Structure 1
Amino acid sequence: MPQLLAEAMADDTPGMNATSLSRLWGRAPTVRRSRVAGELALWRFNHDKVTTFSGIPDEETHTVCVMLDGFLHDDLRLDGRPGSKKYMTGDVFSLVHAGSAPLSYIPAAQGLLLHLYLPLKLLLDPAGRPIELREQCHGEDRRIGHYARRLRAEMLCDDAATGLALDAAILGMASSLARCWSTSGVTPAAWVTGAHCDRRLLRAMERLAANLDAPPRLAELAEAEGISQRHLLNLFQEGVGQSPHRWLTARRMDRARFLLETTDREITDIALECGFSSSQHFSATFRAHFGTTATAFRRRIAD
């Protein structure tokens, strides 16, 4: 497939949808329409270089993109500089915000890409107010990956329950975005897939998330739930696929990113609130997690 740039799109091309992208990419996806979201598209790629595309903003629709297979990704840092190649899991997603000009890098790999064209009207709070998603809305999320795989399976089915199943999975993905990726922060329970929603695990996660600066020790968490430390470790592995330490570090990074995006507090203060004893430790962890420094991340948000 030839490399596709912004000039490939006509001025009258509509925003992100299966029809316009099919014309742009020169391939036809598997498309399903839902009563909840207007359209889903399943794209299959098999090429040997990264493809760049951009387009006209869609004011009424978010586009959720999930790679359903693991793939080798040519990493681009947040400031636009090339990074190293790395293998990404199938739970990695990105989101093109409604009203933003699409800009994506299709990896040099063979695999399936799911697009969910998500209407803004689905992301409303109980008072009918829009739920704002973070500007940097991308990363690895097991729950979004879980719903993406359900959507893939249902898109390849055709029976009396397919429509209901598609609607349920779309609503599940929308709720995950609202809980985990909104500007109001993260709900720990939303990171656990339904198959492993153990209440003891949820309570342990909530205690960790509520005490990022001074988290309880593993022994304390296990004793509070009346189970062994080994049992609690197993619950974390089954529920989120991570050790308690890795899960806690990811939540600290979530909180740090949220504070950098929404406040002008000193980075040293943010580091202390997120449980880091030194700004050097915080900086090294932030760079390892996001591929850039906290200062550069905040500068990009300001721009």
Structure 2
Amino acid sequence: MSPESRLTTLDGSLSATIWRFRNRPSYELRRPADHHTHVIAVPISGQHHHTYFGNGSLKWSRAHPIFHLNIVVAGEQPRGLFTSDQPFSYLHVYVRHSMVERVAANSGLLDVARTVTLIDPMCSHDPVVEFVCRQIVREMSCSDRLSQKMLDALGQQLIARLLRRHSSLSVSGVLSPKASAGYRDWRLRRTIAHLEAHLADDLRPADLANAVGLSTARLTAIFREGTGEPPYRWLMDRRFTRACELLATSSLSITEIAHQCGFASSQHLATVMRRRHGITPSDYRNQALTPTVPNS
């Protein structure tokens, strides 16, 4: 099986391919471990079920929505089982580990951590990764003389996001000094579960503290220790992420999505979307629903 299209940076440290699956109801893909390269895998069209094994061990098995990512970490031997009754497509971004280390070193992070590894988020959604990957797909469609330079710039942005959210640096305390200990705190886990269940509600700090049996001051302290940010900021990030998921995968109106995710109005959601991504919710939805895979 060969990729439908490919784009590589001038120095060869990063490349992207698009794979189209359309002839069979099931596929099994496996390859030897590559100790020098990470693969960021993101479905960009269709629906399918994905079962993933790393080094022979089952890691996860679930429906894999578009633009939910997983990472085949350098050194891991991957095996994927895919089933679907419709065509689906994937974007694979191949990143040399030396490039990841270079970005971390240039940021001064390796002065503290000395080493860095990526961590597979196992089919989760990251709106920043989605936005970057959509731009990569568009550059692959254009494929003009600037595309290689654009891929290099987008790759830098992608790696920065992976270092912040999906790496040993993001859980070790280098980027958030007390994050690792906090996530082991059952009170923080219970607070996050409560927030997830009440994204649409108008939660005041005192109400949240009462719901989990803590004082407001203690809750804020535990949350900062565990996540590096206060509860309200974490909640707003989670509401925005959920809104992006619904825009990309549901037929709900933008107003309905805004209300379900705790935004005061569609205008409020639009303001946040413009500030974070520079586009409107309608544009974001159109990008999500418009096929971006080049035609055969």
Report the TM-score when normalising by structure 1: 0.51
Distance in structure 2 (CA, Å) of the matches to 1:50 and 1:98: 26
**Aligned with 1:92 (options 46, 65, 68):** 68
Aligned 8 A contact 2:44 2:88 in 1: yes
Letter in 1 for 2:75: G
Residue 36 of structure 2 corresponds to residue 60 of structure 1:
yes
User: Deviation of residue 171 (structure 1)?
Assistant: 1.4
Change (3 A) 1:82 1:38: closer
Q: SS state of the match for residue 188, structure 2?
A: coil
Which is bigger in relative contact order (C-alpha 8 A, separation at least 6)? Answer: 2
1:49 corresponding residue in structure 2: 25
Change (3 A) 1:30 1:74: closer
User: Deviation of residue 153 (structure 1)?
Assistant: 0.5
Change (3 A) 1:220 1:81: closer
Change (3 A) 1:38 1:234: closer
Q: SS state of the match for residue 66, structure 2?
A: coil
2:243 corresponding residue in structure 1: 241
Distance in structure 2 (CA, Å) of the matches to 1:186 and 1:143: 18
Q: SS state of the match for residue 128, structure 2?
A: helix
**Aligned with 1:151 (options 136, 158, 162):** 136
1:38 corresponding residue in structure 2: 14
1:118 corresponding residue in structure 2: 95
Residue 154 of structure 2 corresponds to residue 169 of structure 1:
yes
Distance in structure 2 (CA, Å) of the matches to 1:180 and 1:82: 19
* 1:151-203 alpha-carbon deviations (Å, 9 max, x no partner): 1000111334322221121112111211111134369xx9xxxxxxxxxxxxx
Distance in structure 2 (CA, Å) of the matches to 1:235 and 1:220: 16
1:289 corresponding residue in structure 2: none
Distance in structure 2 (CA, Å) of the matches to 1:142 and 1:121: 25
* 1:38-97 alpha-carbon deviations (Å, 9 max, x no partner): 3211111113322112222111111111101241315579974996x74x4212111111
Report the TM-score when normalising by structure 2: 0.52
Aligned 8 A contact 1:41 1:116 in 2: yes
Superposition pairs for residues 118-267 of structure 1, below 5 Å? 118-124=95-101, 125=104, 126=108, 127=110, 129-134=114-119, 137-185=122-170, 212=188, 218-220=203-205, 237-238=239-240, 240-241=242-243
Letter in 2 for 1:241: A
Distance in structure 1 (CA, Å) of the matches to 2:121 and 2:239: 27
Distance in structure 2 (CA, Å) of the matches to 1:162 and 1:180: 26
Aligned 8 A contact 1:50 1:74 in 2: no
Gaps of 5+ in 2: 176-182, 196-201, 207-233, 245-257, 263-296
* 1:252-272 alpha-carbon deviations (Å, 9 max, x no partner): xxxxxxxxxxxxxxxxxxxxx
Change (3 A) 1:139 1:81: closer
* CA RMSD after TM alignment: 4.2
Distance in structure 2 (CA, Å) of the matches to 1:77 and 1:99: 13
Distance in structure 1 (CA, Å) of the matches to 2:91 and 2:73: 16
Gaps of 5+ in 1: 1-24, 191-208, 222-231, 248-303
Percent identity over the alignment is: 18
